[in-house]
Amino acid sequence: MLRHASKMILGQGLRSPPTRAVAVGAGTPRMYHERVVDHYNNPRNVGSFDKNDPNVGTGLVGAPACGDVMKLQIRVDDDTGKIVDACFKTFGCGSAIASSSVATEWVKGKQTEEVLTIKNTEIAKHLSLPPVKLHCSMLAEDAIKAAVKDYESKRAKSNASEEAAPVEKAADA
Amino acid sequence: MWKKKLYSSTPLSTILLRTSKIPKIHSPNSVSHKNITLLDPLLHTSASFYSSSSPFVEIEGVSFPTVGGIFFGGPTFHRENVNLFVKKKNCFYSESKSAKKLQCWNCDATADGATPFLVCQSCRSVQPVNHSIDYFQILGVERKYNIEVEKLEGKYKNWQKKLHPDLVHSKSQREREYAAEQSARVINAYRTLTDPLSRAIYILKLENVVVDEEERITDPELLAKIMELREAVEEAEGNQALNQIKAQIQDKMQYWCKSFEDAFLNKKYEDAIASIQRMTYYKRANEEIIKKL
C-alpha cells in the first residue's frame, strides 16, 4: 500500500518507486488511481520557500486523526496579485501527497482571489479519490486558503507599517 | 423426582432448603413476604451490572449467589447446577427487567455473571457475539486507562483456547460461525487494549466521545513542531541519530499518555482529544523511524 510506503519527497531526489506501483500496472484491483501514483513517483513542486519573504504565503494544515501534515506555499507578485510559484511539503498518505501536488499545479498562474474557489471535490475527481480519502482533498483546499490568508495578512501588516512610517516622518518634521 | 416440579411454582423457601443454603423456613404462608424481606437488602447492595462486587451476597451470615450483582429468586430450577442459583420469572422489582438475562442458545442455561458470556459454562457451546460486553470485560480488566498490559496476554490466550475456530471442527455450522466471530472480537479486544493510543480512543468511545476522523486543524505551533520532527527523521543519517530522535519521541509519548489519563479521569474530554492527536502524530513519526532503521 502506498500508505505504508509514504515518505516525504525531497526536491528532485526521487526514491525507488513503491512496489505498489508495479501491482497497479499489472492489472490487479486498482487501489490508487494512475494520477495519484504519477504524482507520487514524479513529484512536482516539492520544496520550500523562505517563509519570511513578504511575497510568500504559507499554509500549514493537519489532519490529526491520520497524523498528516501539509504545508503549501505560494509566491505572489505584489503588483498583479498573481501567484507566480508554488511548492508543497506533505507528510501523509499517497492521496494527501497527490492532492497537495495537484493544488500547487492548479494555483500557479492564477489570482489569489481565484484560487480560493478551488474546491476539494474538483481535486478528488481529478485524482479519482475513493470516499475514504476525500478528507485529503479537503486538506489541500484548506492549505490553499491558509496560504492565501497568510499572504494577505502579511501584506496588510506591511501596508499598516508603511502607513505608519510616513505619519511618523510628518510628526518628526 | 423433584424434576416434576421444575416449572411449577415451588416456594422459595423449599428451593433454598434443597440448596442447603439456609435453615428451614416454617411458615409457607408468609413465603411471598419472606421474598420481599430477603430480597430487600439485596436491592440496596446491587446497583449496577458487572460491577466489581463479588458474585455472592451475604445476608445474615448466609451467602446467596447473585447473577451480575443481582439476586434472582424464583420457582425455576437450573437443571445441572443445583447449587448455583435460581432464576425468577415473575420479578416484582423493576431492576431485573432491565437485567440482561443472557441465555445459552443450546442449553438455555443463564450466564453466571462471573465471566463474560462468550462461552456457556455448562454445555461449553460458543455464544454469538454480544456487543454490550466491552473489551475491558472480555479481557477481565478494570475499565480504566492505566491497565497492566502484561496481564492481557494470558487472558487473551485463555479465551482463544476456548474460542478459536480451529478447535471447533466437530461442532455445528452455527457454532463454528459464532466461534469465528467471537475469536475475532477477542483478537480486536487484545489489540485495542495493548496499544496505548487505540486504548485511549476506545475508552473515550465507551464514554460516547468520538474522535472525528476527518477533522482538520490549523494550530501553527503544533503543526510546525511536527513538521520539524518529520523533516528531522527524513534527514537523519545513521542509526544513532534515528535512535536519538526515537528516544525523544518515546518521552513525548509517555508525557501525552499521562496527560490523556489525567484529562480522562477529570472528564476533560477536549484535553483528552488533544492528547490523542499528539499521540497520533508522534506515533506516525515513530513508524517512519522504524521503517528507516
- Give catalytic status of residue A66 as yes or no: yes
Overall pTM surpassing 0.90 (yes/no)? no
- CB pairs A-B closer than 8 Å: 68
Range A48-61 burial, b when 16+ CB lie within 10 A, else e: ebeeeeebbbbbbb
How many C-beta neighbours within 10 Å does residue A139 have? Answer: 28
- Give catalytic status of residue A93 as yes or no: no
Q: What digits encode the pLDDT tens for the residues A6-25?
A: 445 444 434 444 444 333 44
Average pLDDT over residues B193-208: 93
User: Cα separation of A49 and B165, whole Å?
Assistant: 57
pLDDT band at B171 (very low <50, low <70, confident <90, very high): confident
Residues 6+ apart with CB under 8 A from A115: A74, A83, A106, A107, A144, A148
pLDDT band at B11 (very low <50, low <70, confident <90, very high): low
Q: What digits encode the pLDDT tens for the residues B49-101?
A: 334 445 554 545 555 455 444 444 444 444 444 444 444 444 344 444 445 56
Between residues B25 and B280, the one the model is more confident about? B280
**For residue A28, pLDDT beyond 80:** no
Q: Rg of the Cα trace of chain B?
A: 26
Would the CB atoms of B211 and A65 count as touching at under 8 Å? yes
Catalytic entry in A21, A87, A136, A143? A136
Which residues in chain A have Cβ-Cβ distances shorter than 8 Å to B213? 65-66, 135
User: Cα separation of A90 and B227, whole Å?
Assistant: 9
Closest listed residue to residue B215, CA positions, set A59, A98, A101, A68:
A68
**For residue A88, pLDDT beyond 80:** yes
Following DSSP, what letter does each residue of A54-90 receive, concatenated?
TTEEEEEEEETTTTEEEEEEEEEETTTTEEEEEEEEE
- Minimal Cβ distance to A67: which of B214, B215, B283: B283
Chain B CB within 8 Å of residue A116 CB = no
| B51-to-B45, B69, B113, B144, B186 alpha-carbon distances in Å | 11, 7, 10, 13, 21
Q: What digits encode the pLDDT tens for the residues B237-281?
A: 889 999 999 999 999 999 999 999 999 999 999 999 999 999 999
User: Cα separation of A74 and A143, whole Å?
Assistant: 10
Grid cell in block for residue B278: 499528539
Grid cell in block for residue A140: 489541500
Chain B CB within 8 Å of residue A132 CB = no
Closest-approach residue (CA) in chain A for B198: A65
